[in-house]
Amino acid sequence: MTTPHRERIVLAYSGGLDTSVAIPYLADKLGAEVVAVAVDVGQGGEDLDAIRQRALDCGAVVAEVIDAREEFAAGYCLPALHANARYMGQYPLVSALSRPLIVKRLVEAARRHGGTTVAHGCTGKGNDQVRFEVGLGALAPDLRIIAPARDYAWTRDDAIAYAEANNLPIDVTARSPYSIDQNLWGRAIETGFLEDIWNAPVEDIYGYTDDPAVAKDPDDALITFEHGVPVAIDGCPVTPFQAIDALNQRAGAHGVGRLDMVEDRLVGIKSREVYEAPGAVALITAHQELETVTLERDLARFKKSVEQRWTELVYDGLWFSPLKQALDAFLAQTQAHVTGEVRLRLHGGRAVVTGRRSPASLYDFGLATYDTGDTFDQSLAAGFTTLWGLPSRLSAARDTRLVAATPSGAGPS
């Protein structure tokens, strides 16, 4: 007699308590086989082979660990750099950038292993449930979606009790007071005592940055860009991944990229978030400065509105939307002349530009200088200012004429 084929669920696996417990829980509750997929986007901190083995020990029929660090840097962090993306003017989209890549890899795994359902560990309060599910709906609308923590009303205490009752190979005693998500682009810390927005962050929450108050000698980094892509640091060629990784180390050593903000979540609530993104902040700072030298004024002004909309779309989980794809094309076009070098001084929690140069520069020394060598024809300015202010003068004359023609004490009809 042939054994009936069991449904296969592809689980976005982090190696932590919640997703480890989800493996046997989903197998028991739904009678399904669970395929665990962990995607390395540069989060570090744990042996990936150990994560794979833990998934198997928890009952996964297949466990995959996918090295997507270079893809994440080039295909996700780099577009964010071109958009100078900082949600609410601060957050450089750390978690939001990794989710569409993880979604893409989950869909590929589902096709590879005959999966009919995808599961993730998000709760109903956060943004990530939207990012996962909207992305899955765009790439694979035929796949069913399960979120155990949300759909089955799990609590962390429930997960711990289940792990202990089933002797799962997970250390459930060392409970972190924080919720942490990290990848190559940065690190996000929330919950615990940080939920009181009056409480100041303490030093032990940080992992990517050193205390900027500790005295150190400044570090000057020379970053070379070609068409908006960082290609060298201090003259040494780098890939996008290597550029971000190197600046995470160098800028992080000076406490660059620490952020503490109350953030407007997609689901409508405000959330206190602490971030550290040294490499991202350093690169965005350098990239923005090079754009000031190489982008024409009206293009630069319009690009700022595109940057904001692009950032909101990605934050809101719409990476695969038609509008975001159209804005990608615009942003790519703006990078045609963003080539040159920027010198950054990393010191005391800040990345400060101290020099910039470009073969595609729109800065003309002869036009800018007030000293000998000035090539600007100042005789043209008088006519220019007259014409530029003409609409305002006409408007003011009109208002004066109408006031004069109005009987004394009469108001508008």
Q: What is the pLDDT of residue 175?
A: 59
Residue 218 shares a structural domain with residue 347: yes
Q: Which residues are catalytic?
A: 18, 99, 128, 179
Would residue 7 be called left, alpha or beta, if left means φ above 0 and alpha means ψ between -120 and 50 degrees? beta
As a whole number of angstroms, the distance between CA 251 and CA 279 comes to 6
Residue 260 shares a structural domain with residue 353: yes
Residue 210 shares a structural domain with residue 80: no
- Residues 260, 261, 262, CA angle at the centre, nearest 5°? 145
Residue 206 shares a structural domain with residue 135: no
Phi, psi of 111 (to 5 degrees): -65, -40
Residue 197 shares a structural domain with residue 221: yes
- pLDDT tens-digit profile of 118-152? 999 888 888 999 999 999 999 999 999 999 888 88
Residue 156 banded pLDDT, cuts 50, 70, 90: confident
The answer to whether the Cα torsion of 149, 152, 157, 159 is positive or negative is negative
Question: pLDDT at residue 2 above 60?
Answer: no
Residue whose structure tokens are 């060598």: 373
**Residue in 281, 224, 225 with CA at minimum distance from that of residue 251:** 281
Residue 146 shares a structural domain with residue 227: no
Q: Specify the 3-state DSSP secondary structure of 270.
A: strand
Q: Is 275 among the domain residues?
A: yes
Q: Is 256 among the domain residues?
A: yes
Give the alpha-carbon dihedral of 222, 226, 231, 235, to 10 degrees: -40
**What are the residue ranges of helices labelled H in 4-93?**
17-30, 48-57, 69-72, 78-82
> Mean of the pLDDT values across residues 206-233?
97
- Residues 21, 22, 23, CA angle at the centre, nearest 5°? 90
Phi, psi of 378 (to 5 degrees): -70, -15
Question: pLDDT at residue 172 above 80?
Answer: no
As a whole number of angstroms, the distance between CA 172 and CA 187 comes to 23
Choose one of 144, 170, 196: the last residue of a domain: 170
Residue 200 shares a structural domain with residue 347: yes
Q: What is the pLDDT of residue 41?
A: 96
Q: Which residues are annotated as a binding site for ATP?
A: 12-20, 121
Q: Which residues contact 296 (CB under 8 A, 6 or more apart)?
A: 362
Q: Is 327 among the domain residues?
A: no
Question: Residue 4 in contact with residue 10, Cβ under 8 Å?
Answer: no
Residue 119 shares a structural domain with residue 155: yes
Q: Is 371 among the domain residues?
A: no
CA–chain centroid gap for 242, Å, is 17
- pLDDT tens-digit profile of 304-358? 999 999 999 999 999 999 999 999 999 999 999 999 999 999 999 999 999 999 9
**Residue in 333, 332, 313, 308 with CA at minimum distance from that of residue 323:** 313
Q: Is 213 among the domain residues?
A: yes
Choose one of 122, 143, 170: the last residue of a domain: 170
Residue 195 shares a structural domain with residue 225: yes
DSSP state of 360: T
Q: Which residues contact 330 (CB under 8 A, 6 or more apart)?
A: 303, 306
Give the count of beta carbons closer than 10 Å to the beta carbon of residue 47.
11
Query: Which tokens in the block code for residue 230?
Result: 């960082």
- pTM of the entire predicted model: 0.92
- pLDDT tens-digit profile of 277-292? 999 999 999 999 999 9
Containing 382, the helix (H) or strand (E) segment is helix 379-388
Query: Which tokens in the block code for residue 183?
Result: 């990848």
Q: Is 124 among the domain residues?
A: yes
- pLDDT tens-digit profile of 19-65? 999 999 999 989 999 999 999 999 877 788 889 999 999 999 999 99
**Residue in 38, 32, 34 with CA at minimum distance from that of residue 13:** 38
Residue 160 shares a structural domain with residue 204: no
Q: Which residues contact 71 (CB under 8 A, 6 or more apart)?
A: 101
Give the count of beta carbons closer than 10 Å to the beta carbon of residue 220.
12
Residue whose structure tokens are 């928890």: 58
Residue 51 shares a structural domain with residue 164: yes
CATH of the domain at 353: 3.90.1260.10
Q: Is 49 among the domain residues?
A: yes
> Mean of the pLDDT values across residues 103-125?
94
Q: Which residues are annotated as a binding site for L-citrulline?
A: 91, 127, 131, 179, 263, 275
Q: For residues 108-120, b (16+ Cβ closer than 10 Å) or e, as one string?
A: bbbeebebebbbb
Query: Which tokens in the block code for residue 252?
Result: 């992080």
Average model confidence (pLDDT) across the chain: 93
Domain, as residue range, for 95: 8-170
Residue 143 shares a structural domain with residue 193: no
Query: Which tokens in the block code for residue 94?
Result: 């750390």
Residue 408 banded pLDDT, cuts 50, 70, 90: confident
Choose one of 328, 357, 386: the last residue of a domain: 357
Q: Is 239 among the domain residues?
A: yes
CATH of the domain at 82: 3.40.50.620
Q: Which residue has the higher pLDDT, 180 or 243?
A: 243
Q: Which residues are annotated as a binding site for L-aspartate?
A: 123, 127-128
Q: Which residues are annotated as a binding site?
A: 12-20, 91, 121, 123, 127-128, 131, 179, 263, 275
**Residue in 34, 24, 52 with CA at minimum distance from that of residue 168:** 24
Number of domains in the chain: 2
